[in-house]
Amino acid sequence: WGPLITLGQNNWSWAKGRITAGTVINLKKNKRFGKYVMFFHASGPKTEEEGDFDKNASIGIAWSDDLSTWDWPK
């Protein structure tokens, strides 16, 4: 295992609880995208300990050229 990657979670109120169910799709050969694309679930704005996981859920997206460095809507 490598280091934990949490993307911009520290700055996302909608993901303070947790990020789960990450799925990566290889769209490198698709001329419209040309990147790896990841979708994931998140919960917030409260933390997991505050009991927000089953009340507020969001879906996030991120993309990468190399599976190590990720970017996302800012």
Per-residue pLDDT tens, the chain, 74 aa: give them: 788 778 888 888 888 888 888 899 999 999 999 999 999 888 888 777 777 667 778 888 999 999 989 998 87
How many alpha carbons lie under 13 Å from residue 21 in its C-beta half-sphere?
A: 10
Whose tokens are 């769209």? That residue is: 27
DSSP 41: E
Whose tokens are 């998140």? That residue is: 42
At 6, is the secondary structure helix, strand, or coil? coil
pTM: 0.71
Between CA 18 and CA 60 the distance in angstroms is 12
